[in-house]
Amino acid sequence: MHNAAIAALGLDWRYLAFDVRPEELRQAVAGAQVMRFIGLNLTLPHKLLAVDMMDELDESAREWGAVNTIRFEARKADGDWVPLAQLPPQEAAEIRRRGFNTDADALVRALQEDLACNFRGATVLVLGAGGAGRVAALRLAAEQVKRLFLVNRTPEKAKTVGAEIERRFPAVQVRVGYPDAAVDLIVNATSLGLRETDPVPMDERQFQLRKAGAVFDMIYQPAETPLLQAAKAAGCRVANGLGMLLYQGARALELWVGQAVPVHVMRKALEEQIYGSRQSR
Ligand SMILES: NC(=O)c1ccc[n+]([C@@H]2O[C@H](COP(=O)([O-])OP(=O)(O)OC[C@H]3O[C@@H](n4cnc5c(N)ncnc54)[C@H](OP(=O)(O)O)[C@@H]3O)[C@@H](O)[C@H]2O)c1
């Protein structure tokens, strides 16, 4: 999706994937910096490790404790730092790394654009309390949802996330367990559903899908998980995680380029790459 947008923008850049061992991440980032890379995206476990390797942390990375986007920046003659791409190579003498997180905002954007969600005052059930579940719950709390219910196979992890929300967002009512009334939204942040034979990631005896207005599954492959199939049958609005993947990538590219990027081009490329000619959502 990045290369499609890069071509549409008329840039002579390339977006490439590298396998990097966690113990060699620091060297890899330093190597990219001296080779004048524009920036980097990181996947787990590098997102957490990179936090201590940045010269500057953007608010987004500080807030969520993870870096999924690094932007290399150059110092101008007047002392200001700008994205490396905005300075002619001969003028970019001093370079620093700035870490961002574009994942958390991407979830909110996907929920707004794909499911027309309004968060303020809403009741939300988050399934999963791993890396993605924790950030989803915290980010929704920051959007001023009213009530958050957290369910995880390992309840202690949901309790830890709940305690963090109580400390950081005291206005949000947070509880570990299934809701006792209807919810506006369910977010699946577990990995259950990656295989078509997986069960739905929630106990439908404890909470029935028909009591949910909308269901968002972070999984995008398969396009329709057992949870989304069941939610659709129950009459809920549904969306998979493709939008989330798209928007974190679009924001990263925007940070490197320093201007708006063609999101529709990126969506089309992503859908073709992941689903081939099949319809995605
Ligand atoms: N669309 C996107 O852009 C996007 C971005 C990030 C993540 N994701 C997706 O979100 C999911 C979670 O990612 P993550 O980074 O948070 O992974 P993670 O940190 O490994 O967390 C995995 C979560 O799934 C639960 N889980 C795993 N196997 C389970 C099972 N058999 N039964 C019940 N629960 C189970 C875990 O519960 P325990 O705590 O009990 O182990 C935990 O809550 C993945 O499917 C990932 O692909 C999508």
Does ligand 1 have an atom closer than 6 angstroms to the CB of 140?
Answer: no
Please write the tens of the pLDDT for every residue from 4-54: 999 999 999 999 999 999 999 999 999 999 999 999 999 988 999 999 999
Please write the tens of the pLDDT for every residue from 136-156: 999 999 999 999 999 999 999
Determine if the peptide bond prior to 45 is cis (ω within 30°): yes
Report the C-alpha gap between 84 and 151 in whole angstroms: 43
Q: Whose CA is nearest to atom 34 of ligand 1?
A: 153
Q: What's the pLDDT score for residue 277?
A: 62
pLDDT band at residue 244 under the 50/70/90 scheme: very high
Contacts of 255 (CB under 8 A, 6+ apart): 39, 69, 71, 83, 100, 102
Determine the atom of ligand 1 nearest the C-alpha atom of 240: 1
Please write the tens of the pLDDT for every residue from 119-133: 999 999 999 999 899
Distance from the alpha carbon of residue 157 to the mean position of ligand 1, in angstroms? 12
For residue 82, the cross-strand partners are 74
pLDDT band at residue 71 under the 50/70/90 scheme: very high
How far is the CA of 101 from the CAs of 29, 71, 82, 264, in angstroms? 16, 11, 18, 22
Q: Give the mean pLDDT of 233-252.
A: 98
Determine the atom of ligand 1 nearest the C-alpha atom of 248: 3
Confidence check: pLDDT of 234 > 50 = yes
The DSSP string of 2-61 is HHHHHHHTT-----------GGGHHHHHHHHHHTT-SEEE--TTHHHHGGGG-SEE-HHH
Confidence check: pLDDT of 281 > 70 = no
Does ligand 1 have an atom closer than 6 angstroms to the CB of 129?
Answer: yes
Report the C-alpha gap between 3 and 38 in whole angstroms: 14
Q: What is the CATH number of domain 2-101+244-275?
A: 3.40.50.10860
Q: Give the mean pLDDT of 169-173.
A: 98
Distance from the alpha carbon of residue 86 to the mean position of ligand 1, in angstroms? 38
Does ligand 1 have an atom closer than 6 angstroms to the CB of 221?
Answer: no
Q: What's the pLDDT score for residue 280?
A: 43
What is the bridge-based pairing of β-strands 147-151 and 95-100?
A: unpaired
Output helix, strand, coil percentages for the chain, rounded to the nearest 5: 40, 20, 40
pLDDT band at residue 279 under the 50/70/90 scheme: low
Catalytically annotated residue among 47, 76, 232, 268? 47
Same fold for the domain at 2-101+244-275 and the one at 105-240?
yes
Q: What percent of the chain has pLDDT above 70?
A: 98
Domain ranges of the chain: 2-101+244-275, 105-240
Does ligand 1 have an atom closer than 6 angstroms to the CB of 158?
Answer: no
Distance from the alpha carbon of residue 189 to the mean position of ligand 1, in angstroms? 5
Looking up tokens 């069960």, which residue turns up?
199
In the residue annotation, 211 being an active-site residue is answered as: no
Q: What's the pLDDT score for residue 89?
A: 79
Can you list the alpha helix ranges (DSSP code H) found in the chain?
A: 2-8, 25-34, 46-49, 59-64, 103-115, 131-142, 155-168, 226-233, 242-257, 263-275
Distance from the alpha carbon of residue 127 to the mean position of ligand 1, in angstroms? 9
Q: What's the pLDDT score for residue 233?
A: 98
What integer best gives the mean pLDDT of the chain? 95
Does ligand 1 have an atom closer than 6 angstroms to the CB of 191?
Answer: yes
Q: What's the pLDDT score for residue 91?
A: 84
Determine the atom of ligand 1 nearest the C-alpha atom of 157: 39
Q: What's the pLDDT score for residue 278?
A: 53
Distance from the alpha carbon of residue 191 to the mean position of ligand 1, in angstroms? 4
CB 202 within 8 A of CB 151: yes
pLDDT band at residue 275 under the 50/70/90 scheme: very high
Report the C-alpha gap between 171 and 226 in whole angstroms: 34
What are all long-range contacts of 71-74, with beta carbons under 8 Å and residues at least 24 apart?
Answer: 71/38, 71/39, 71/97, 71/98, 71/100, 71/255, 71/256, 72/32, 72/33, 72/36, 72/37, 72/38, 72/39, 72/96, 72/97, 72/98, 73/97, 73/98
Q: What is the CATH number of domain 105-240?
A: 3.40.50.720
